[in-house]
């Protein structure tokens, strides 16, 4: 607080001497120089950051997947195919399989060791198990995705054809999206040092192929297609079967539809 | 090397991508540091806006403390990024639906438009005097700091004072924004029941005020000891009273949050109950609530009402302040780390390994925590916060 009462000299009463005048000119020139240099530097730095992303994808499509839980045998081929196709670092999963065992005593055992990449081995006596099933999981490519909402720089975005992607050249690696995804679909990629997750094999589906996991599934438990096309396999599957999505109460607009969902599924 | 407090790795069913925690101890420090900024500033504004005379001796110290912590606040954040070199994108291409994208703006606003300006107007007259009474580099430094405005006429000084008051009035909502928004970063994550709460920004704000007041109190007393100056007991008593009231509000709100959650008992109830009664039991109930909350509160209240001697009061104030600072740090830990210790499957728990060394280890965290004090030391050398008062007293 300015409580000091001591009066100080008035500076504006001083007259300018020649020397001071020259000094003033020199200082001003220096200031202008620093200002101009600083501005040029600033402009150069900012220009690298202000590019805007062009819309990606074709708005006439809306790609999605449906999963028939009753058909999945837990072989884990899809997890392996995904990890090879997409170079997924070990210990992280773009897709994974969960095994549910409802025991005779009513308890539920859930596991997904190594994401199910090596299949599952028996760990309890078969006669103690009442019912067992496998649930393949992946990013739900939510239409109102919380991950996209929270990304501070827009590096996570939705394509025009309904796929949620991460721009690895744009992601600053804050991991907010990993926190925001209610499904655990995202992971930290230690090689790219960015967030990462399932892309529905965007590089393949743009060429008319199906995602790698769909291609290798021996039982056809994964159905891929274009929701905008009523004749595509996924549209037909969802018409003909009762399906549910994961955590519908969170209103994320999760797209991946499951047939044969049971209340044990988390 | 681990700190040894961690036994089990995971229990129950944890989703395969959740085996590692995403936000480390550095992200615990970020809300702690910004909280100290907001709290210290609000203490300072009590002097300016509400004319709380007894607190005047710490007015400048509170401002400089806020500045020192504000300078350090972004460090843990940027250090934690996978691509720190892209950090600037938050300001260049902010994604407007993201709470985190506001960081750059809120930070810049608070630093430039509030803190620096207020300090400038408050010190300008003296900086002119210091510039005129020194030579060489020192003279240049103070001249630059005055931004070339050397007018110390009564009119100019009056203007400084008015401008300072005006900025404080803007500054109070800004400080609330600065920290309330940090609470919003957590409170708005709907997929995380530990965080998702409308009370979160308010709880963050109140605990920030508590921690900021405690920090200024402790720093003020430590500086007095270091400089062998007597404490201004009127000032200490006033700060102690403010700390007590802030604690009452803060603890009530936190208790309300706990009661509300227990009563509502949503789908997450069991898993969060396990967390609160297990891994986080000591840090929540032992430190955050008891040692850092109720215990100092009772002591402060006794010191106020029992007419304790000055020496006793000093001890009570100092240790209550320290305990409150530890309690609030624990609260940040409980929020940030606690929110990551249960699986989104709501069926399992995991643990956090705090490393001792390494980029996100305990040593770095301690460094980030104490760096602001070093900065404050330098700031106090350049802009001595006590001169005016001691001169006035003499
Ligand atoms: S499942 Fe998770 S990562 Fe995928 S779109 Fe939804 S919120 Fe985002
Ligand atoms: S980690 Fe990357 S994609 Fe995720 S929120 Fe941060 S910047 Fe966006």
Over 90: is that where the pLDDT of A132 sits?
yes
Q: Is the same domain home to A198 and A167? A: yes
More confident residue, A19 or B338: B338
Which pLDDT value is given to residue A48? 57
How far, in Å, CA of B167 to CA of A108, rounded? 60
Question: What does the pLDDT look like over B256-291, one tens digit per residue?
Answer: 999 999 998 888 888 999 898 888 999 999 999 999
Q: Structural domains in chain B?
A: 22-247+356-384 (1.20.1630)
How far, in Å, CA of A64 to CA of B349, rounded? 32
Q: Cβ of B152 and A187 within 8 Å?
A: no
Cβ-contact A60, A203 below 8 angstroms: no
Listed in sequence order, the DSSP H helices in chain A are 18-49, 77-85, 146-150, 176-180, 202-205, 212-216, 233-240
Task: Grade residue A52 by pLDDT with cuts at 50, 70 and 90.
Answer: low
Q: What does DSSP say about strands B10-13 and B347-350: parallel, antiparallel, or unpaired?
A: antiparallel
Cβ-contact A52, A77 below 8 angstroms: no
Average pLDDT over residues A118-134: 93
More confident residue, B214 or B149: B214
Q: Nearest by CB to B97, which of A7, A149, A194? A: A149
More confident residue, A176 or B307: A176
Q: Is A1 a member of any domain? A: no
B88 touches chain A (CB under 8 A): yes
Q: Is the same domain home to A260 and A148? A: yes
Q: Is the same domain home to A37 and A72? A: no
Average pLDDT over residues B93-117: 87
Is A158 touching ligand 1 by the criterion CB < 6 Å? Answer: no
Which pLDDT value is given to residue B375? 97
Q: Is the same domain home to A35 and A130? A: no
Provide the residue range defining the domain that includes A110: 57-266
Question: What does the pLDDT look like over A38-50, one tens digit per residue?
Answer: 877 776 666 655 5
* Contact residues, chain B, for A151 at CB < 8 Å: 95, 98
The total number of structural domains that make up chain A: 2
- Nearest chain A residue to B184 by CA: give it: A150
Q: Is the same domain home to A125 and A219? A: yes
Question: What does the pLDDT look like over B59-80, one tens digit per residue?
Answer: 999 999 999 999 999 999 999 9
How far, in Å, CA of A117 to CA of A88, rounded? 12
Which value does ipTM take for this structure? 0.90
Q: Is the same domain home to A68 and A173? A: yes
- Nearest chain A residue to B150 by CA: give it: A11
Over 60: is that where the pLDDT of A76 sits?
yes
Over 70: is that where the pLDDT of B1 sits?
no
- The pTM of the whole model exceeds 0.95: no
Residues listed for chain A: 266
Is A246 touching ligand 1 by the criterion CB < 6 Å? Answer: no
Q: Which of A26, A49, A72 is the last residue of a domain?
A: A49
Question: What does the pLDDT look like over A224-256, one tens digit per residue?
Answer: 999 999 999 999 999 999 999 999 999 999 999
State how far residue A187 is from chain B, nearest Cα, in angstroms. 6
Over 80: is that where the pLDDT of A2 sits?
no
Q: Is the same domain home to A137 and A239? A: yes
């Amino acid at each position: 607080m300015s409580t000091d009462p001591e009066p100080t000299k008035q500076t504006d009463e001083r007259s300018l001497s020649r020397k001071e005048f020259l000094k003033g000119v020199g200082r001003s020139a220096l200031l202008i120089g620093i200002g101009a240099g600083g501005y040029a530097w600033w402009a150069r730095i900012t220009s690298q950051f202000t590019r805007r992303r062009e819309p990606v994808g074709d708005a006439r499509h809306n790609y999605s997947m449906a999963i028939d839980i009753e058909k999945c045998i837990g072989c884990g081929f899809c997890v392996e195919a995904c990890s090879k196709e997409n170079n997924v670092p070990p210990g992280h999963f773009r897709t994974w399989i969960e095994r549910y065992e409802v025991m005779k005593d009513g308890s539920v055992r859930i596991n997904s060791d190594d994401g199910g990449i090596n299949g599952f081995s028996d760990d309890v006596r078969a006669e103690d198990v009442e019912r067992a099933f496998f649930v393949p999981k992946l990013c739900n490519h939510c239409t109102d995705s919380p991950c996209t909402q929270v990304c501070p720089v827009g590096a996570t975005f939705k394509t025009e054809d309904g796929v949620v992607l991460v721009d690895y050249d744009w992601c600053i690696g804050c991991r907010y999206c990993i926190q925001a995804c209610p499904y655990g679909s995202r992971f930290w990629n230690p090689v790219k040092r960015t967030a990462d997750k399932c892309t529905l094999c965007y590089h393949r589906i743009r060429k008319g192929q199906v995602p790698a996991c769909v291609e290798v599934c021996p039982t056809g438990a994964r159905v891929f297609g274009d929701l905008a096309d009523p004749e595509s396999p996924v549209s037909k599957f969802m018409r003909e079967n009762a399906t549910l999505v994961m955590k519908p109460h969170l209103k994320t607009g999760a797209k991946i539809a499951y047939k044969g969902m049971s209340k044990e599924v988390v | 090397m681990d700190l040894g407090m961690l036994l089990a790795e995971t229990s129950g069913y944890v989703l395969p991508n959740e085996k590692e925690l995403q936000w480390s101890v550095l992200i615990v420090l970020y809300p702690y540091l910004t909280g100290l900024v907001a709290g210290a500033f609000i203490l300072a504004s009590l002097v300016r806006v509400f004319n709380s005379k007894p607190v005047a001796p710490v007015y400048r110290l509170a401002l400089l403390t806020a500045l020192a912590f504000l300078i350090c606040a972004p460090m843990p954040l940027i250090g934690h990024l996978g691509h720190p070199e892209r950090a600037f994108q938050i300001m260049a291409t902010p994604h407007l639906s993201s709470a985190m994208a506001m960081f750059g703006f809120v930070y810049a606003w608070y630093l430039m438009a509030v803190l620096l300006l207020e300090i400038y107007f408050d010190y300008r007259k003296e900086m002119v005097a210091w510039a005129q009474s020194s030579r060489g580099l020192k003279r240049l430094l103070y001249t630059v700091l005055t931004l070339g405005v050397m007018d110390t006429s009564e009119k100019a000084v009056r203007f400084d004072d008015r401008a300072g008051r005006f900025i404080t009035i803007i500054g109070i909502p800004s400080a609330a924004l600065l920290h309330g928004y940090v609470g919003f970063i957590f409170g708005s994550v709907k997929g995380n029941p530990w965080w998702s709460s409308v009370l979160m920004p308010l709880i963050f704000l109140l605990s920030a005020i508590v921690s900021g007041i405690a920090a200024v109190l402790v720093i003020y007393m430590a500086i007095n000891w270091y400089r062998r100056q007597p404490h201004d007991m009127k000032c200490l008593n006033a700060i102690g009273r403010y700390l007590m009231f802030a604690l009452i509000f803060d603890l009530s709100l936190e208790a309300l949050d706990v009661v509300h959650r227990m009563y509502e008992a949503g789908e997450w109830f069991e898993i969060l109950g396990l967390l609160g009664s297990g891994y986080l039991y000591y840090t929540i109930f032992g430190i955050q609530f008891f040692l850092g909350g109720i215990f100092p509160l009772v002591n402060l209240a006794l010191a106020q009402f029992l007419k304790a001697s000055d020496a006793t009061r000093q001890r009570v104030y100092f240790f209550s302040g320290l305990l409150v600072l530890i309690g609030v740090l624990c609260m940040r830990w409980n929020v940030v780390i606690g929110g990551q210790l249960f699986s989104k499957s709501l069926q399992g728990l995991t643990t956090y390994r705090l490393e001792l060394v390494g980029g996100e280890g305990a040593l770095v965290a301690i460094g980030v925590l104490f760096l602001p004090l070093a900065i404050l030391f330098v700031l106090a050398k350049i802009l001595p916060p006590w001169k005016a008062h001691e001169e006035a007293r003499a």
